[in-house]
Amino acid sequence: MLAAARSAFAERGFDGATIRGIAGEAGVDPALVHHYFGSKDQLFLAAIEAPADPADLLPQLLAGGQDQLGEGVVRLLLTVWDGPMQPAGLALVRSAVGNEWGAKLLREFLVTQVLRRVVGALDLPPREAEVRGALVASQLIGLVMGRYVLQIEPLATSDPEALVAALGPTVQRYLTGEVALPA
């Protein structure tokens, strides 16, 4: 089931893949997929071996209000990455850098499980939300690559709160500030 799910999510994306289609590819009844994984979100997280479930982490972040969202996003990322989930996260990122299939799955994870939920709290027009989400993703991916993969100093050993103070305002501007949005 997981192999069929990985294939479906990589080929059709999260929105295009269905439990019924994945079950058909796996040769099982859709009820069996629901039994083992519950929802499509949970199946997706299992398929990509996600280090954390954003549905568990984002509500507290979003409850803090729009004015602190940038700092909250950076703080949450660092909390997850500096914790026990780091090895799984590194495996996911390295897989995405190394092959197209991994990149598609990581992109789907970021877009459907994280960015849509964050920018969805801002009540923006769909195209603007998409562009702002992509700008936030560029900052977060850069932070992950610089701090955890490439281990660029002093980024790699900086205190997390110093990074929140440095990067939070940029993420906040991407979310709610004045930005010349690309077409």
- Per-residue pLDDT at 85: 77
Q: What is the pTM of this model?
A: 0.77
Q: Do 80 and 160 contact (CB within 8 A), yes or no?
A: no
Where do the domains of the chain lie, and which CATH numbers do they carry?
2-47 (1.10.10.60), 54-176 (1.10.357.10)
Percentage above 70 pLDDT, the chain: 98
Find, among 91, 74, 79, 69, the residue nearest to 141 by Cα: 74
pLDDT above 90 (res 57): no
pLDDT above 80 (res 66): yes
Which position has the higher pLDDT, 36 or 47? Answer: 36
pLDDT, tens digit, for every residue of 91-130?
Answer: 778 878 877 877 887 888 888 888 888 998 898 999 999 9
Find, among 113, 4, 6, 55, the residue nearest to 20 by Cα: 4
pLDDT above 70 (res 51): no
Mean of the per-residue pLDDT values of the chain: 88
pLDDT, tens digit, for every residue of 164-183?
Answer: 999 999 999 999 999 987 77
What is the per-residue burial (b if ≥16 Cβ within 10 Å, else e) of 40-75? bbbbbbbbbebbbebeebbeebbeeeeeebbbbbbb
pLDDT, tens digit, for every residue of 84-101?
Answer: 778 777 877 887 887 787
Which position has the higher pLDDT, 22 or 98? Answer: 22
